[in-house]
Amino acid sequence: MVVTYMRMKLIGLVLFSILVFSACDNQPKEKKPGQALVSINGQEVTTLQLNDEIRRAGVRADQYEASSKQLLESLIARQLIVDEAIRNKLDRTPDVMQARERANAQIIAQAYLQGIVSKITKPSEAEVNEYYQKHPEYFAQRKQFDLTILRIATKDLSSELRAVIDAAKSTGEVAAWLDKKNVQYFRSLASRSTADLPLEMVTMMREKGKNHVFIINEQENSSLVSVNEIKDSPVTATDAALQIEKYLTNHKYKQAIDAEIARLRSSAKIEYLNAKAPARNTERPATQLMDDINHPDTVGNLNLPEPTSEGAIERGIMGLK
């Protein structure tokens, strides 16, 4: 259901973007360069347009013929929608005009930044190897934690329950108490590695091991986490190389973009009118911590920290015991 909803939402955004970029005015458009494939109410769809759609869709060579037909029909449908939207003057509504300005600014900014990152060189083999050697916890000494998680309403986290949790050696003991007291909870299993979790949490799990229950408070809900087993799960330099290269490349991109933005800010006159400058919040909320446990953003069998959160100390663990 969630996937279907997200797909429908994405389709809606795509259609809205189509309207924003294509609906300009009621005047006849200039003839587009490229061989025309079809004409819809006088507006041509060209080979250049179709090839661009094929490129953006990442169509494989063996799917070219079937996909090109489908994409051509999609272009026709798009033009029909745009024509009807313009006929109803939707291209002149404040929301569409504002969205068009925003999208235009984003495209221009993206083109500028692309020019900056295109000059960045690929990480060398030495850089990749250096990162591997400096982070044994992600690779050579990586550990895997098999976890049991009990999710309860925070309002049910009473002082009596906290005392039970302090004395418990596993979530099984806590679950027995919850059953006895008719407290609702949801049980799940998870397997995460030292590359998936914040350093503070890994340290606590390794120190306290399997005979402890951790509490993670998440506003309306709380999670009770226990470690069932800790296993060695090493990753070789060869297996990690591509992911490290990707990570280091993204890190270089971020550094270059941050440096350029800092340079532009230093030479610009920026005034916050009728508002204070927004404060930066680097603390990582507990809900995001549980997202790390429940839905790790893994690539293959390795999950490295994002370049934006390299300081693991900033990944706040609210209420973690």
In a domain, 159, yes or no: yes
In a domain, 107, yes or no: no
In a domain, 158, yes or no: yes
Last residue within a domain, chosen from 33, 66, 101? 101
Write out pLDDT tens, residues 123-142: 999 999 999 999 998 999 99
Q: Tokens for 166, please give them.
A: 């302090």
**Which letter does DSSP use for residue 23 in this model?**
-
In a domain, 277, yes or no: no
Residue 31 sits in the same domain as residue 167 = no
Q: What was the pLDDT predicted at 275?
A: 67
In a domain, 112, yes or no: no
Residue 233 sits in the same domain as residue 166 = yes
Residue 40 sits in the same domain as residue 149 = no
- For 264-293, b/e burial (b = at least 16 CB within 10 A) is eeeeeeeeeeeeeeeeeeeebebeebbebb
Residue 172 to residue 187: CA distance in whole angstroms: 10
Residue 168 sits in the same domain as residue 303 = yes
Please compute the mean of the pLDDT values over residues 80-100 and round it to a whole number. Answer: 93
Residue 236 sits in the same domain as residue 95 = no
In a domain, 88, yes or no: yes
Last residue within a domain, chosen from 69, 101, 133? 101
Q: What is the DSSP string of 263-319?
A: HHHHTS-----SSPPPPP-----HHHHHHHHHS---BTTB-PPPGGG--GGGS--TT
Residue 152 sits in the same domain as residue 6 = no
Instruction: Check pLDDT > 50 for residue 308.
Output: no
Residue 30 sits in the same domain as residue 171 = no
| AA letter at 245 | E
Predicted confidence band at 246 (pLDDT cuts at 50, 70, 90)? Answer: very high
Q: What was the pLDDT predicted at 252?
A: 94
Residue 85 sits in the same domain as residue 141 = no
How many domains, the chain? 2
Instruction: With both helix axes pointing from N to C terminus, report the angle between 2-22 and 94-117 in degrees, rounded to the nearest 10.
Output: 90
Q: What is the mean pLDDT of the chain?
A: 80
First to last CA, the chain: 35
Q: What was the pLDDT predicted at 60?
A: 85
In a domain, 111, yes or no: no
Nearest partner of 83 among 73, 95, 75, judged by Cα? 75
Please compute the mean of the pLDDT values over residues 151-164 and round it to a whole number. Answer: 94
Kindly give the residue spans of alpha helices, DSSP state H, lying in 93-236.
94-117, 125-134, 159-167, 171-180, 199-208
Q: What was the pLDDT predicted at 25?
A: 41
Please compute the mean of the pLDDT values over residues 235-256 and round it to a whole number. Answer: 93
Instruction: Check pLDDT > 90 for residue 255.
Output: yes
Please compute the mean of the pLDDT values over residues 287-303 and round it to a whole number. Answer: 49
Q: Who wins on pLDDT, 228 or 312?
A: 228
Query: 29-33, 65-69, 109-113, 125-129: which range is least confident on average?
Result: 29-33
In a domain, 278, yes or no: no
Last residue within a domain, chosen from 37, 66, 101? 101
User: What domain range includes position 10?
Assistant: 2-101
Write out pLDDT tens, residues 162-216: 999 999 989 999 999 999 999 999 999 999 888 888 888 888 888 888 888 988 8
Predicted confidence band at 281 (pLDDT cuts at 50, 70, 90)? Answer: low
Predicted confidence band at 284 (pLDDT cuts at 50, 70, 90)? Answer: low
Q: Tokens for 299, please give them.
A: 């690539």
Residue 183 sits in the same domain as residue 295 = yes
Predicted confidence band at 321 (pLDDT cuts at 50, 70, 90)? Answer: very low
Cβ-contact 221, 152 below 8 angstroms: yes
Residue 68 sits in the same domain as residue 139 = no
Instruction: With both helix axes pointing from N to C terminus, report the angle between 47-57 and 64-87 in degrees, rounded to the nearest 10.
Output: 110
Please compute the mean of the pLDDT values over residues 220-233 and round it to a whole number. Answer: 91
Residue 93 sits in the same domain as residue 174 = no
Please compute the mean of the pLDDT values over residues 299-311 and round it to a whole number. Answer: 45
Residue 243 sits in the same domain as residue 190 = yes
